Amino acid sequence: MHSSQPHPRGASGRSLGLTLALVSAVAFGGSGAAAKPLIQAGLSPLHTVWLRVTGAALVLLPLAWRHRSAVRQRPMLLLGFGLLAVGGVQACYFAAISRIPVGVALLIEYLGPPLLLGYVRFVQRRPVNRSAALGAGVAVTGLACVVEVWHGLTFDALGVLFALGAACCQVGYFVLADAGSRGERRVDPIAVSAYGLLIGAAVLTAVTRPWDADWGVLGRDVVMNGHTLPALVPALWMILVATVLAYLTGVVAVRHLSPAVAGVVANLEAVVATVLAWVLLGEHLGPAQITGGLLVLAGAFAAQIGTPSGSAPEAGPKVPPGPQVAPGPDPLPAPDMLPSPQVAPGGGRGEASTPVVPLVSGPSSRTSRSG
């Protein structure tokens, strides 16, 4: 089952895409605040990630069955999304934080947006919107302040490579989410999300060995900022909101925006994660983090307003028919129509969507598409 027409990227389509991208960023950003109480109660970070992805995959299983024709239409697209945007982001991110500080790993992972712009410009050889490029730079600078990267300036070559791997997988999240809307065999975004999570769950099962976890934690109470509540409450929030809703709205948003713009907006995940950790977990923000959050917002705004609101131009100026007109290559589409590789964890999106990215106070409070 697939849509017959690509999503519009005109004014109305862009507004809808921006709204969905913001919803996705907020949903992804809440995964850390939901995951931390579970981790503090005794569930390991990796098993928390497995619970998140596998739970979401089971929720979307009926939709995956409904869209099973997508497996025949674009099998490699679905496989790539599952391996890169879900499983790859998680695995690379957690391998990175085992060797380098979480803040540094998170910053490197969120180099996805500029990496995506570089891919569009130098690999696809398509023009890049200057506002999107400027916005990506401002957002990355702000992100460095949010995670206070200067507190962990140590160099571990393998750890940095793993973090760069997470960034590349996050680029894959946006590129593949957009690719599903192109070509003759378009795939419904629900199918992309559902099968991506199913494949990601299979990958994480092999990596995390969930049968070794203490799942009795889910039957007990946990503490969130001094308040006691059943462990199933943050677990269900992490699965239904921070994963199911986050991936579905994120994939659709990419199809309404250019991948580059959607990627820059995704940087808001780190800001949302920090603010929610402040409100729900009592992890207070410093002046540098507040300033960084404002810079991320400014970068996302700059990227968004720089995208033309009109639809794609026609194939070219009309030329009177005649044998004297030599055929030529099709002109490049406007920047807002480009399937520019998405700016990055997802996870994921890729994420990144890490249910366990430490905030100011600890290594498990900040999160993104990678966990």
Reported as a single tens digit per residue, the pLDDT across 295-313 is 877 876 776 655 444 433 3
Q: What is the mean pLDDT of the chain?
A: 76
Average pLDDT over residues 113-138: 76
Average pLDDT over residues 32-44: 88
Cα–Cα distance, 249 to 26 (Å, whole number): 11
In the predicted structure, residue 173 carries a pLDDT above the cut 50: yes
Taken as a whole, the chain contains a residue count of: 371
Among the ranges 10-19, 44-53, 173-182, which has the highest mean pLDDT value? 44-53
Instruction: Using pLDDT thresholds of 50, 70 and 90, give the confidence band for residue 41.
Output: very high
Q: Rg of the chain over CA atoms, in angstroms? A: 20
**Nearest alpha-carbon partner for 354 in 269, 296, 283:** 269
Percentage of residues in the chain with pLDDT exceeding 90?
28
Q: Report how far apart the first and last C-alpha atoms of the chain are (Å, whole number).
A: 30
Residue 4 sits at φ, ψ, to 5 deg, of -90, -15
In the predicted structure, residue 227 carries a pLDDT above the cut 50: yes
Cα–Cα distance, 332 to 328 (Å, whole number): 12
In the predicted structure, residue 47 carries a pLDDT above the cut 70: yes
316 in any annotated domain: no
326 in any annotated domain: no
229 in any annotated domain: yes
Q: Give me the pLDDT at residue 9, please.
A: 53
Q: Give me the pLDDT at residue 153, please.
A: 61
H or E element at residue 153: none
Centroid of chain to Cα 322: 49
Q: Exposure string (b/e) for 23-61, b if CB count within 10 Å is 16 or more?
A: bbbbbbbbbbbbbbbbbbbebbbbbbbbbbbbbbbebbe
362 in any annotated domain: no
**Nearest alpha-carbon partner for 254 in 17, 82, 77:** 17
Of 33-42, 158-167, 353-362, the poorest mean pLDDT is in: 353-362
pTM > 0.75: no
User: Regarding beta strands 227-230 and 221-224, do their DSSP bridges make them parallel or antiparallel, or are they unpaired?
Assistant: antiparallel
Can you spell out the DSSP letters for 292-335?
A: HHHHHHHHHHHHHHTS--S-PPPSS-----STTS---PPPPPPG
In the predicted structure, residue 67 carries a pLDDT above the cut 90: yes
In the predicted structure, residue 355 carries a pLDDT above the cut 60: no
Cα–Cα distance, 180 to 187 (Å, whole number): 5
4 in any annotated domain: no
In the predicted structure, residue 259 carries a pLDDT above the cut 60: yes
Average pLDDT over residues 44-62: 94
Structural domain count of the chain: 1
Would you state the structure tokens that stand for residue 236, as one six-digit string?
């269900």
Centroid of chain to Cα 42: 27
Q: Give me the pLDDT at residue 317, please.
A: 45
Cα–Cα distance, 353 to 99 (Å, whole number): 19
**Nearest alpha-carbon partner for 195 in 17, 74, 367:** 74
Q: How many CA atoms lie within 13 A of 268 on its CB side?
A: 24
Better-scored residue on pLDDT, 350 or 67: 67
Average pLDDT over residues 283-303: 77
263 in any annotated domain: yes
182 in any annotated domain: yes
Q: Give me the pLDDT at residue 209, please.
A: 92
Instruction: Using pLDDT thresholds of 50, 70 and 90, give the confidence band for residue 109.
Output: confident
Q: Give me the pLDDT at residue 306, please.
A: 52
Instruction: Using pLDDT thresholds of 50, 70 and 90, give the confidence band for residue 155.
Output: low
Average pLDDT over residues 175-200: 87
Average pLDDT over residues 241-258: 90
CB neighbourhood size of 316 (10 A): 9
227 in any annotated domain: yes
Task: Residue 277: give the domain boundaries.
Answer: 21-210+223-308
Q: 269: which strand partners? A: none
Instruction: Using pLDDT thresholds of 50, 70 and 90, give the confidence band for residue 271.
Output: confident
